[in-house]
Amino acid sequence: MSRNTSKNLRILAIETSCDETAVSLVDFTKVRNFAKIRNHTIRVIKNLVSSQIPIHQKYGGVVPEVAARSHVPEIVSLLSRVVKTPLRPPYQGGQKLPPDKGEFERASAARTGFGFDAIAVTRGPGLATALRVGIEASRVLAFLSKKPIVGVNHLEGHLASAWLNATNRKHWKFPLLALIVSGGHTELVLMKNFCDYKIVGQTRDDAAGEAFDKSAKLMGLPYPGGPQIAKLAKDGDRNAFDLPRPMLKDPSLDFSFSGLKTAVRNEWLKLFPSVIPAEAGIHPMDPRVSVRLRPRMTINDFAASIQQAIIDVLIEKTMRAAKQFTVNGILLVGGVSANEELRRQMAERIKKELTDVAFLPSDKKYVTDNAAMIAAAGYWRLMKGERHDWKKMDVDPEWNV
Amino acid sequence: MITEKNKKTFILKKLEDWNQVIKFMIPKLKPGMIIALSGPLGAGKTTFVQHLAKALGVKSTPRSPTFSLLRTYKVRAIHELPLRRLLHVDAYRIEHDHDLMPLNLEEELAEPGTIMALEWPENVKKWLTRQPNKKIFLKISIDKKGNRFISYSVIPAKAGI
């Protein structure tokens, strides 16, 4: 095709590890020296996430959030927007391809057929039934297109989400430390090199995002609670309530948030002795709750205090790990990293205490589960020479990085 | 049918007291059994599962399954019990019983030596009633001083199991 074809490697990525079904097409420039990170350019062509697109309507009404994990109709719909269906198979008898060229060149030549050069798919960790949908779809595509396929770890995908940002790539110098914070994960990962990681700290019970959501639920706020708390916290005093900072004094780099949940519950009962709004099914701002019981500032202060308790623990442990392993940069990735206060305060602390350390948060559009990040992690793996045999590929629900 | 023999109440003043509940329950555990854990947010349902897992010889510490819905743990044979797997299920985010379908819980539970700890059973009441398996219900409540009250009751397996 065009000159562009041979310069780029176009990866089709599929992610179905939990609630989201996501498909993406990303172009990576082929570089001679992979370690020369400045030379890399990345262009995200398509980045589709099912929850952001009203696919459900096609299938008769809105599917409840969790039922949506029957990812099958969604993946078909998303893939049909991204993958070109060739009129004839790309490899037919008469087609001539120079045998000395590598598989990517051959793949590029056949792009007219499918619109991608390689496949990256999430193999785990996650829910087996959900993961399997993505795996099966990718196996079929690998078989039909004869393109190389590689299985990717979902957490490595989150790490790679920071690499999608060009400024971050400029400051990308190993070793790096990553804080992955989302509804299902809270992990500190030491990155010694591409594809060489170690989990140095993680939550022992609830994830940070879960602490946000469940605290919000106790306050009677609608789902998802994280953004709601962040919104209320803007006008609140973060020192108004004395909430615990679990495990802060503990020498390990692990986190724990379930004790905070219990403390939030107890403090709330002191504020509103008669009612836990979540259990009564009413919001504290509901007119049925007497005015005396709902001073707005109290709610804002309470939200700000909860947010600060979570942020304090996350930042403290991250700083401790960064010093312990003398890293060159700190990645902040995952859904909770969308929290402005967390970003601001972490940037501040790093600037103050670790002057030579770069702060590398991923772009907000890539913080929640998406497939562009899976493409980036898949690119690392493919460049390292990793391939999977589509015939033998399977899910790995309990996979660690 | 619940007889008096199948009921008991515990009062826990601190988290370590969970061990008395575990000690009482362990000899009663059998493959295929469902332990239904109810109680408000922050009551200690996941904490109970952590203690149970430790007593069963699970190597890792169970973390909250709210996001992932289902986590599976290998039970090591450090005891006399014929148990091999512990399923930790969380119905917190489940709104309808049919949302459980993709998890294949019946099949998972039918695997040899499997027991299930289920959080927020009230969200999947219909599903739970349909299961013929023996069930243990643990209802946790907390008072203002932070004391926990655990009511334990057993519903025997339906005929044929």
Looking at chain A, the whole-number percentage of residues with pLDDT higher than 70 is 80
The answer to whether the A3-159+369-383 and A173-361 domains have the same CATH topology is: yes
Residue B10, domain member (yes or no): no
Residues 91-110 of B with CB under 8 A from A: 93-96, 98-99, 101-104
Residue B143, domain member (yes or no): yes
Q: Is the pLDDT of residue A339 over 90?
A: yes
d(CA A118, CA A109): 12
In sequence order, which residues have a C-beta less than 8 Å from that of residue B93 and are 6 or more positions away? A65, A66, B66, B67, B69
Confidence band, pLDDT 50/70/90 cuts, at residue A58: very low
In chain B, which residue's Cα lies nearest the Cα of A397?
B71
Q: What angle do CA A223, A227, A233 make, to 5 degrees?
A: 120
Closest CB from A127, A210, A266 relative to B66: A210
Residue B161, domain member (yes or no): no
Residue B28, domain member (yes or no): yes
In sequence order, which residues have a C-beta less than 8 Å from that of residue A365 and are 6 or more positions away? A47
More confident residue, A298 or B139: B139
Give the amino acid at A231.
Answer: K
Neighbours of A114 (CB within 10 A): 23
Residue B3, domain member (yes or no): no
Distances (CA, A) of B8 to A360, B21, B24, B39, B139: 54, 10, 10, 16, 11
Tens of pLDDT, residues A341-385: 999 999 999 999 999 999 999 999 999 999 999 999 999 999 999
Neighbours of B143 (CB within 10 A): 9
d(CA A394, CA A378): 16
In chain B, which residue's Cα lies nearest the Cα of A203?
B63
Chain centroid offset of residue A167 CA: 19
Picking from A323, A345, A320, A342, the residue whose alpha carbon sits closest to that of residue A333 is A342
What pLDDT shows up at residue A99? 53
Structure tokens at A383: 């460049």
The whole-model pTM stands at: 0.85
Q: Does A64 touch chain B (CB under 8 A)?
A: yes
Whether A261 sits inside 8 A of B69 (CB atoms) is: no
Confidence band, pLDDT 50/70/90 cuts, at residue A18: confident
Residue B112, domain member (yes or no): yes
Picking from B33, B17, B7, B48, the residue whose alpha carbon sits closest to that of residue B140 is B48
Picking from A387, A335, A362, the residue whose alpha carbon sits closest to that of residue A120 is A387
Tens of pLDDT, residues A110-167: 555 788 999 999 999 988 888 999 999 999 999 988 999 999 999 999 999 999 999 9
Residue B2, domain member (yes or no): no
Residue A220 Ramachandran class (φ > 0 left, ψ -120 to 50 alpha, else beta): left
Instruction: For A262-306, give the DSSP string.
Output: HHHHHHHHHHSTT--HHHHT--TTSTTS-GGG--HHHHHHHHHHH
Q: Give A66's contacts in chain B (Cβ within 8 Å).
A: 69, 93-95, 99
A/B interface, count of CB pairs below 8 Å:
86
Pick the CATH number of A3-159+369-383 from 1.10.3210, 3.30.420, 1.10.3470, 2.60.40: 3.30.420
Closest CB from A126, A203, A206 relative to B68: A126
Instruction: Count how many domains chain B has.
Output: 1
Whether A266 sits inside 8 A of B44 (CB atoms) is: no
Q: Is the pLDDT of residue A324 over 90?
A: yes
Confidence band, pLDDT 50/70/90 cuts, at residue A55: very low
Query: Could you name the CATH architecture of A173-361?
Result: 2-Layer Sandwich (3.30)
Q: Are strands A42-49 and A22-29 parallel, antiparallel or unpaired?
A: antiparallel
Whether B68 sits inside 8 A of A184 (CB atoms) is: yes
Residues 156-215 of A with CB under 8 A from B: 182-184, 203-207, 209-210, 214
**Structural domain containing residue B70:** 15-154
Closest CB from A127, A209, A269 relative to B70: A127
Tell me, what CATH number does B60's domain have?
Answer: 3.40.50.300
Sheet holding A8-15, edge to edge: A42-49, A22-29, A8-15, A118-124, A149-153
Tens of pLDDT, residues B48-68: 999 999 999 999 899 999 888
Chain position carrying tokens 């922050």: B42
Q: Does A271 touch chain B (CB under 8 A)?
A: no
d(CA A258, CA B111): 31
d(CA A180, CA A159): 8
Residue ranges of domains in chain A: 3-159+369-383, 173-361
Q: Give A214's contacts in chain B (Cβ within 8 Å).
A: 41-42, 66
Closest CB from A210, A269, A278 relative to B67: A210
Looking at chain A, the whole-number percentage of residues with pLDDT higher than 90 is 59
